A and B are shown apart, each in its own frame.
Chain A
Amino acid sequence: MIALAGLLERLRYCPTAAHRQRVLAECGDATVRGVLAGTIKARKVGLPMLRALAAARVDPVLFAASQDFLGDFVETLALIWPARAGNAAAPALAEVLAEMAAAPAAEVPHLVAGWLDASDAATRLALLRLITGKLRPMTATAVSAGGSAGKITAMLMYAQSVRVGLERDYSFGVLDAAGSLVPVARVMVAERDALEAWVRAHTVAKFGPVREVAPGLLVRLAFAGVMVSPRHKAGLALREASCEAVLEAGEVGKLADLSALLD
């Protein structure tokens, strides 16, 4: 499981298929590769069983606050699982596959809890993804990123303080069919000086932690894909968007419109 966990961590953020191939090539374990390729599958467990495990081990208020922060139940369970001193080593992938297949249903929760106890956070996450059947979609996302990925020129619309930490999120928009700006991505940005300077000088309204800014600042956004999102006025949102660059006056591109994203 440890090898799988390390590989997953690394694959998740690889920028291109070629780089992923290099990382994968380093792994000589046929079972790990089979699991990643989807040719080997683990017996699946349901979320209610995992919720019961969580409830037995973790204060519900703390669990809810943590899930609220991370936005993902399985990741929350992996990170929050309290360490328990013991001698057991983290299970091998083959052991997990075999024991899960053989165990009577009533035994599965004990089995999973024992493995979680013996593992570190990254290994717990890999284990939970494996037995909830989320491993293949997770790596598939990583592997398929590129098909609909792209870059567009978008305009800064809002800056909002995030509840935890300092960072601010920035919302960027493109033009809809009527020529109005509509938000399509909310992005955390590491290099914030130019954005903050704009926000300071051009805030036109405040709604609690959200500042609306005057239009004018263009950026180049990179994204992994476009997803349908009824919550967005545009009806879609960029997946895994990141701010590549704030465009300077000399290199201002053409502000994208929605049709560019629907291709």
Chain B
Amino acid sequence: MTHPDTWLRPLKAGLFCEPGGFYIDPMRVVERAVITHAHADHARPGHQAVLASAPTIALMQARMGKAGVSHQALGWGERIRLGEVTVWLQPAGHVLGSAQVVMDYRGQRVVVSGDYKRQADRSCEPFEPVACDVFVTEATFGLPIFRMPDPAAEIGKLLASVRLFPERAHVVGCYSLGKTQRVITLLRDAGWQAPIHLHGALVGMCAVYERFGIALGALLPVSGDMAGAIVLAPPTGTDAKWSRRLADPVACLASGWMLSAKRARQSGAELPLAISDHADWDDLLGTIAETGAPEVWVTHGSEAALIHELGRRGIKGRALRLIGYGETA
């Protein structure tokens, strides 16, 4: 048995698995990278060899032209030997293709979960817990004030506003990868059958989702003043130039941070929607319990509070202090 802190280490370039010779979600260009998901803060361009799930490879290609100088797609649960380490991917439920990286080495198992969530989301593969010795977690919402409401209720607020202000355009700010497709599927599930209008920056990621079988319904470009319509756009706030031609737009923002009144006010949104693609406090703790891991490493977020709570539960916590993650909450 070799304790993982001797073979999986936080270096400047990112988390490095020494006997496997690869980094996970490195912040700098490296020889070999295993990528958990295609968000820009985890999937950076320029790596030599990239290993990731097939959707992640496709999303990276759509975002950056290519996933790496060379790339290899790994199926869910498919084992691969990298150096002396057996590696496989398990869905993380964060965005399409998002994976937990499972590493087995000398009788010890580490799971690096990347970003993840536990709420139901039919736009991506659901999180599947893996029993392990060390669970590496994010803590984006690692404070007990963060308990995400039912996303269907949040979407209900949007639809109520569309009914109340039918002469105005509703513009929902959401990140192009993940949040956009989640909002679309939530709208469809709530019965919104009308076309949903997309800012050009969101079109490419939606096309990849559809290619992987996630039906999004009718999607159209923005045209005219969009009164009565729902428009999705990058989270630029109320003020981007292109929105000036819209009919008295209601600026909405879909983000877990909207749980904080201060953040909601600062965002300038008229209708904040607390829809998150990260685990909230209860789901972080529930997931950690499910893995059975006696030791938890925290990559980024509110690590101090989470580690404090883990200590109360007899679980050893460690802050990795990886810099550079957390750009898409």
A interface with B by C-beta (< 8 Å):
9-10, 12-15, 19, 22-23, 26, 58-59, 61-62, 65-66, 69-72, 75-76, 79-80, 82-83, 120-121, 164-166, 187-191, 222, 240, 242-245
Contact = CB atoms under 8 A, between A and B. Distances in A.
B302 A164 contact: yes
Chain A interface, DSSP helix/strand/loop, else mixed? mixed
A222 B149 CA distance: 31
Contact of A14 (B157, B264, B270, B312): B270
A155 to B, nearest CB: 18
Interface string B41-71: 1000000000000000000000000000000
Nearest to A15: B270
Interface string B157-183: 100010011000000010000000000
B90 to A, nearest CB: 25
A27 B161 CA distance: 14
A69 B265 contact: no
Given A70-B145, A244-B239, 8 more contacts: A10-B271, A13-B264, A62-B144, A66-B144, A71-B262, A75-B260, A166-B326, A191-B240
B302 A65 contact: yes
A13 B239 contact: no
Contacts of A22: 164-165
Contacts of A79: 145-147, 259
A190 B173 contact: yes
A23 B164 contact: yes
Contacts of A244: 239
Interface of B: 41, 140, 143-147, 149, 157, 161, 164-165, 173, 234-237, 239-241, 253, 257, 259-272, 301-302, 304-305, 308-309, 312, 325-329
B236 A188 contact: no
Contact of A13 (B257, B269, B304): B269
Contacts of A80: 144-145
B263 to A, nearest CB: 7
A65 B267 CA distance: 22
CB-CB nearest 7 A-B residue pairs:
A79-B145, A191-B236, A166-B327, A166-B326, A188-B266, A190-B237, A242-B268
B83 to A, nearest CB: 32
Contacts of A58: 144
B329 A165 contact: yes
Contacts of B266: 187-188, 240, 242
B145 A13 contact: no
A101 B327 CA distance: 48
Nearest to B256: A165
A120 B263 contact: no
A188 B147 CA distance: 23
A62 B305 contact: yes
Given A61-B305, A62-B308, A188-B263, A76 B270 contact: no
Contact of A69 (B147, B260, B272, B312): B260
Nearest to B265: A240
Nearest to A191: B236
A12 B268 CA distance: 11
Given A79-B145, A121-B149, A188-B263, A65 B237 contact: no
